């Protein structure tokens, strides 16, 4: 059962939205947090999805959303009465998964939530793949730098330098990139 956190910065009641989501079988978290409390509430309650009801996303709301998204990314649906393209872009940039302009019928809630969850999962996979590729690239760069250091200071060939890094890594139960980082750090320290 999905745990849903409703957040509002409007004066209009969110009871209808809460009841519609509860009827669809979602677990509604007890607190309808204000945007300012969003990061703390998300950390404490650990919702599966956050739904924000707003007239127009304020800068404070978007800032808090960005903070939350950095610390604990979650799918975020934003219901708004503002169809301004700048606001939509700003909201998506802050981590909104789905931005919906007023006029939401209760029967459309479940499919919209499912699409937002699927989109978030897909984006999360892409983020993880990007992190992995960036990490592998950083490892390759540091290994290349360590090989160059060994080649310059010990007059080794590239193959000999890599073999030396690999042997040290195996002897100490480390990854080649970790050994390379140590070597580069020591070289930087010693000048």
Domains of the chain: 3-104 (3.40.50.2300), 131-190 (1.10.10.10)
Nearest to 164, CA basis, from 152, 173, 151: 151
Instruction: Please report the DSSP string for 39-85 in residue order.
Output: HHHHHHH--SEEEEEESS--HHHHHHHHHHHHHS---EEEEES---H
- Tell me the two tokens of residue 70: 């950095």
- Average pLDDT, stretch 9-21? 76
Sign of the alpha-carbon dihedral angle for 43, 47, 49, 54: negative
Q: Is the dihedral of CA 81, 84, 89, 94 positive or negative?
A: negative
pLDDT per residue as tens digits for the range 79-138: 888 888 998 999 999 999 999 887 667 778 889 999 999 999 999 999 999 999 999 999
Among 7-16, 47-56, 68-77, 128-137, the minimum mean pLDDT is found in 7-16
Q: What is the pLDDT of residue 16?
A: 77
Q: If pLDDT is split at 50, 70 and 90, which confidence band does 13 have?
A: low
């Amino acid at each position: 059962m999905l745990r849903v956190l409703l957040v509002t910065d409007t004066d209009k009641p969110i009871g209808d939205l809460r009841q519609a989501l509860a009827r669809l079988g979602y677990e509604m978290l007890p607190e309808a947090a204000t945007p300012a409390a969003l990061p703390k509430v998300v950390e404490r309650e650990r919702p599966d999805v956050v739904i924000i009801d707003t007239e127009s996303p304020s800068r404070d709301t978007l800032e808090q959303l960005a903070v939350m998204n950095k610390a604990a990314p979650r799918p975020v649906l934003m219901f708004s009465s503002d169809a301004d393209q700048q606001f939509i872009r700003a909201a998506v940039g802050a981590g909104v998964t789905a931005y919906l302009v007023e006029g939401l019928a209760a029967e459309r809630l479940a499919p919209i939530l499912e699409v937002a969850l699927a989109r978030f999962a897909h984006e999360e996979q892409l983020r993880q793949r990007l992190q992995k590729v960036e990490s592998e690239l950083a490892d390759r760069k540091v290994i290349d730098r360590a090989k160059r250091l060994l080649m310059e200071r010990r007059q080794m060939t590239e193959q000999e330098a890599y073999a030396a890094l690999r042997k040290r890594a195996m002897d100490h139960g480390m990854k080649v990139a970790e050994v390379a980082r140590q070597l580069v750090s020591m070289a930087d320290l010693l000048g």
